[in-house]
Amino acid sequence: MNKKIRRLAVGLLVCYLVLFIQLNILQVAKQQELSADLRNDRQTIRDFNRTRGPIIAADGTVLARSVPVVNPDDSAKYQREYPLGDLFGNITGYYTFNFGSTQLERTHGAELSGTTSRQQVRALTNLLGEGDISGTVVTTLRPDVQQLAKDLLAGREGSVVVMVPSTGAVIAMYSFPSFDPNLVANHDTEEAANVLKFLTALPGKPLLANAYQERYMPGSSFKVITTATALQYGVTSLERAFPNETEFTPPQTNDPIRNYGGKACGGTMAEVFYRSCNIPFAQMAIELGPERMVGGTKAWGIGEAIPIDLPGAAASAFGEVSDFTDRLPLLAIGGFGQGSDVMVPLHMAMLASTIANGGEMMKPYVVDATLYHDGSVLERTDPEVWKTPIDPGTASTLTQLMIGVVNLGTGRSMQLANGVQAAAKTGTAQLNAAGEPQRSHAWIIGFAPAEAPQYAVSVVLKGTTDEISASTGGKLAGPVAKQIFDYLFAHPDPVPVAQSVSAATPAPPPVGSAQP
Amino acid sequence: MSTASPIASTRRSTELGLVIMAGSITGAAYTLASLGKNAEIPPIIVPFLIALLGVLLLAHIATRLLASGADATLLPLVALLNGLGYVMIARLNDRLARLQTTWTIVAVVAYVVTLLVVQRAADLARYKWTLFAVGAGLLLLPLVPGVGRTFGGARIWVRIGPVNFQPGEFSKIALAVFFAGYLAERRELIATGTWHIGPLRLPEPRHFLPILLAWGFSVVAMVGLKDLGASLLFFSLFVVMLWVATERTTYLVMGVVLFAGAAYTAWRLFANVQTRVAIWHDPWSQYEGKGYQIVQAMFALANGGAAGTGLGLGSPNKIPEVKNDFIFAAFGEELGLFGATAILIAFLLIIGAGFRVAIRSERPFEKILAVGLTTILGLQAFIIIGGVIRVVPLTGITLPFVSYGGSSLVANYVLLALLMRISDSTARRAGEVPDALTVGERFEARGAVRQVKRDVKRGANADREPR
């Protein structure tokens, strides 16, 4: 019998070995995945009982921080607070007890709570120090510019993105509508749930950042890409001239394409660019053909999610070759930013940046660095090239064309103070079909100074009101961009902003009307 | 037993040292847990902890007096599991901690009483049919109307007067003793099959009957009590004992086939079995419902990671029923992979010690019984830990010595006492420990002496018969 008993022992040993392997799978291999599950609030409970580091702006302004809870009935020891209210809601995201966390609060949760392995190791060598090992996230953002963007949007739906062309650092990125994370971070679960329900039901989708999580038809601002592609392939040059036409009928249809407002439009390449004629760009798109045109858009990263260091970034879209081979008219109108084109506002700022940066498109980022609890650098973001869609020669040709827009064309509203030369392209994306009431988005993208660019900007105003829809990118978005540029050149260093909200007295949540 | 042999005194000293170590670990764990931020253990629990540690020491003293030759590692391992389980229960719910102290005292008393009553392991074989009746009766008791109670879908509770208990916990021991007795007697007959069915050589049906009976018991447990864990445990236990006793692999194969058939049928017929399997397969889709518990257990384990959150620093109370079925997940969370592995190793060491007891014994009955009892502990721990971490479908049974619960604790201490007794009996027969007559034997001997004297007297009288 002893032989069988030994075998039985081996059998049970194997059973326990299986248990041990499964434990390793759950506690080590799948640990990250399980801990990241939104339904798993254990990490949160642990985190809420210790300090969590702040998220700060480039100038040190606090965007998010943890403060000790005053209410003795509260289950947690710390309350997350966002001193600037809704100004950075779409970038910091929220950090809640019951509803998980979003944006930087989520992607940099480990650094903020001090649980990365490097922070843990550093803490071990510092056993006698204080227990707080939470890290800090330093962003590239300037609250004063962000506040200006908010003021300039003045309650109109849309977004403003400001970035540094040479690095990809985002200086301001404001979307309206935004939301106040303080209302969601409220420890009163029921109240926070009502706020979330209300925010989710709002038509403007404040929880989604227009600037990088949504995409809109670009209109004429897309002509930059058509022109770039046509220049790269030699389909056009500064010498090319286009006849003055009112109509152009692309292949495979009898339906002619018209210019904006039905006017006759033509001239040199520079003229058709600054006057923003539609027909020449439709013709260039047809001449390029589906393959080269689609390849051209892909060179700019269209079709890929934008590689910003924030979660949930959207991808711009143009279409695939197969979408156009039998639908050349769609390709033609795609050439001037209509039809199936949709662009992420941040991507449009990256377009301007690429031209400003001699053809290199940098990866956009908002996190400049993360810091250890003692203030030394944990990790610093190194600027990286994402795409190189055009060569420096094409970039300088496009710059010339865009200077023309500001000096002579649709973007004259972008003539900056103190003689600073800007380069820009406007866009007015027509959303309504023929015969329907006018609906259009107003766009502008640009950079300045044209000869040595420091900043690139994209502004979009969504066609949600009659006022916006009746106007153009040049008239509406241009002045917003101009004021941003003028401010940036007048204030190269950040100006402190007043903290508008204190979590100690959170504004009453808009409950009541919240129920759909 | 004052004239203890060197071997006995070495074993008992080792045991004492290890029990003290287990007690120190428990005390240290308790201190850590009460310092943890998430746990609030009121100071009133301290006397209860001291009582618990005292009672474990008492178990050692009883072993010294009653089973001085027994294995030295079993009791300390049990003390460690019991102590760590106690700390976790105290950290989860201080009211239950007080009750658990009471249960531990009752369990250790049961341990001592078992050692007192069962002075020779071989004696048990004599009562195998009585124990069979007791075991079967206990198993079926919850089905009796008015007495049985259903909790959590399983009808495994009995309420008699003010006392609630799970008779199944005791039933498994009684049935293991019965089966060991039965197999020790007839294992040769069962092993040498004379009944040919096709390629199979089976024993005579009358020898084979108990196996079908065992199968019947597990079906009763599954169908009548809706207790999958007990069903699996019962059947595996019988098959394993049969296989070890007869040394014929045919039985193992047949057992697996029979169980697979029963399990498949149960899965087809019973909704609760289907639910269990579905949750095992994919708990995520039923997060809001029946899968919640197991998903929370996985979250807890992940939260623990390799090193654990530390005692009192996790959130094990988010798992429903964490105090009994899911207590292993609480250890996984707060002590991490290291702590959970330590518990697995403790069970493996118990299994090893139990099988060592079986191998050392030269008597078939004691051998088979030791295998059966060890298998109960080893398999039960595997089934519930495997259920908690999704290796097998979850079935509601307790983690021996660790989970909260009186029936389980008392039954497992009785089981421990039997293992210790077998170990001690073997040592005495081997001459490692001086043997003395037991009270019963002395009583019998006195009767025999008297009888002899009477006979001698009668013989002497007969001699005086006139010629």
**Which residues in chain A are closer than 8 Å to B315, comparing Cβ atoms?**
42, 45-46
How close A216 gets to chain B, by Cα (Å)?
A: 35
The strand pairing partners of A170, in sequence order, are A163
The answer to whether B184 and B227 have CB atoms below 8 angstroms apart is no
Give domain status of residue A286, yes or no: yes
* pLDDT in the model for residue A72: 64
Q: Quick one: which H or E segment has residue A180? A: none
Backbone angles phi and psi of B432, in degrees to 5 = -70, -30
- Enumerate residues 363 to 392 of chain A having a beta carbon within 8 A of any beta carbon in chain B: none
For residue A216, give the DSSP letter: B
Put simply, the answer to whether A5 touches B315 (Cβ < 8 Å) is: no
Instruction: Give the C-alpha distances (Å, rounded to integers) separating B182 from A353, A355, B13, B120, B210.
Output: 88, 91, 37, 18, 9
Residues B448 and B371: their CA atoms lie apart, in Å, by 35
CB atoms A28 and B333 under 8 Å: no
DSSP class of residue A85? G
Q: Is residue B380 part of a domain?
A: yes
In chain B, residues 269-288 whose CB comes closer than 8 Å to chain A:
287
> In this structure, is the dihedral angle defined by the CA atoms of residues A5, A6, A10 and A12, taken in order, positive or negative?
positive
Cβ pairs A/B, distance under 8 A: 119
Number of Cβ atoms within 10 Å of the Cβ of B213: 15
Interface test with A, best of B355, B360, B419 (most A CBs within 10 A): B355
Sign (positive or negative) of CA dihedral A491, A495, A498, A501: positive
Characterize B154-175 residue by residue with b for buried, 16 or more Cβ atoms within 10 angstroms of its Cβ, and e for exposed: bbbbbeeeeeebbbbbbbbbbb
Question: Are B188 and B182 a contacting pair, CB within 8 Å?
Answer: no
Whole-number pLDDT of residue B466: 54
Query: Looking at beta carbons, which residues of chain A come within 8 Å of B382?
Result: 12, 15-16, 19
The end-to-end CA distance of chain B, in Å, is 52
Give ipTM to 2 decimals.
0.90
| pLDDT for res B233 | 85
Tell whether A18 is within 8 A of chain B (Cβ). yes
The DSSP 8-state label assigned to residue A363 in this structure reads P
Tell whether B252 is within 8 A of chain A (Cβ).
Answer: no
Tell me whether residue A327 is in a domain.
Answer: yes
Q: Is residue A475 part of a domain?
A: yes
pLDDT per residue over B304-344, tens digit each? 888 888 888 888 888 888 888 899 999 999 999 999 999 99
Residues 187-246 of B with CB under 8 A from A: 240, 243-245
CB–CB of A22 and B313 under 8 A? no
Chain A residue numbers touching B333 (CB-CB < 8 A): 42
Q: Which of A8, A27, A49 sits opposite B244 (nearest CB)?
A: A8
Which residues are A136's β-sheet partners? Answer: A371
Q: Which pLDDT score, from 0 to 100, does residue B457 have?
A: 84
SS3 A432: coil
Amino acid B56 reads: L
**Is residue A351 assigned to a domain?**
yes
In a domain, A374, yes or no: no
Closest CB to A34: pick one of B298, B371, B389: B298
Structure tokens at A391: 């060569």
Q: Say how far apart CA B69 and CA B373 lie, in whole Å.
A: 19
Direct distance between the N- and C-terminal alpha carbons of chain A, in angstroms, rounded to an integer: 73
Owning domain of residue B237: 124-451
Contacts of A71 (CB under 8 A, 6+ apart): A187
Interior angle at CA A440, CA A438 and CA A446, nearest 5 = 150
Distance CA A6, CA A11 (A): 9
From CA A147, how far away is CA A87, in angstroms rounded? 7
Residue owning tokens 């965007």: A63
With CB atoms and an 8 Å threshold, state whether A8 touches B375. yes
Rounded to a whole number of angstroms, the distance from the CA of A66 to the nearest CA of chain B is 19
How many other CB atoms are there within 10 angstroms of residue B126's CB atom? Answer: 11
Closest CA to B243 of B194, B179, B197, B195: B179
Say what the pLDDT of residue B38 is.
59
**Does any domain span residue A118?**
no
- Peptide linkage before A329 cis (omega within 30 of 0): no
Angle, alpha carbons A86-A90-A94 (nearest 5°): 80
Whole-angstrom CA distances from B430 to A6, A142, B2, B124 are: 22, 86, 19, 20
pLDDT in tens, chain A (516 residues): 889 999 999 999 999 999 999 999 999 998 888 887 877 777 777 777 778 899 999 999 999 999 888 776 666 778 889 999 999 999 999 998 778 789 999 999 889 988 888 887 877 765 544 567 889 999 999 999 999 999 999 999 999 999 999 999 999 999 999 999 999 988 887 888 899 999 999 888 999 999 999 999 999 999 999 999 999 999 999 999 999 999 899 988 888 888 888 889 999 999 999 999 999 999 999 999 999 999 999 999 999 999 999 999 999 999 999 999 999 999 999 999 998 899 999 999 999 999 999 999 999 999 999 999 888 999 999 999 999 999 999 999 999 999 999 999 999 999 999 999 999 999 999 888 777 888 999 999 999 999 999 999 999 999 988 888 888 999 999 999 999 999 999 999 888 886 654 433 334 444 333 333
Residue of A nearest to B376 (CA): A12
Min CA distance, B440 vs chain A (Å)? 31
CB contact under 8 A, A5 and B359: yes
Helix (H) or strand (E) holding B318, with range, is none
Tell which B residues from 312 to 371 touch A, by Cβ distance under 8 Å: 313-315, 318, 332-333, 336-337, 340-341, 344, 347-348, 351-352, 355, 358-359, 364, 367-368, 371
Q: Give the residue ranges of chain B where pLDDT is below 70.
A: 1-4, 36-41, 151-155, 160-163, 193-195, 198-203, 206-208, 210-211, 222, 462-467
**B382 in any annotated domain:** yes
CATH number at residue A328: 3.40.710.10
B67 inside domain: no
Residue of B nearest to A17 (CA): B344
Domain carrying residue A421: 213-366+383-490
**Alpha-carbon distance A205 to B356, whole Å?**
69
Minimum CA–CA partner of A5 in chain B = B244
Peptide bond into A177 cis (omega under 30): yes
Which residues of A are designated catalytic?
Answer: 220
d(CA A266, CA A243): 5
Q: Which two three-digit tokens encode residue B210?
A: 């108990």
CB distance B371–A6 less than 8 Å?
Answer: no
Residues forming beta bridges with residue A163, ordered by sequence position? A170, A456
In the beta sheet, which residues pair with residue A55?
Answer: A64, A137
Residue B6 in domain: no
The three-point CA angle B7-B9-B10 to 5° equals 65
Distance of CA B18 to the CA centre of its chain: 21
Tell me the C-alpha distance between A294 and A325, whole Å: 11
Tell me whether residue A297 is in a domain.
Answer: yes
Give A219-262 as a DSSP string: GGGGHHHHHHHHHHTTS--TT-EEEEESEE--TT-S--EE-GGG
> Which of A6, A27, A39 has the CB atom closest to B301's CB atom?
A27
Count the domains in chain A: 1
How many domains does the structure of chain B reveal? 1
The pTM of the full predicted model, rounded to 2 decimals, is: 0.64
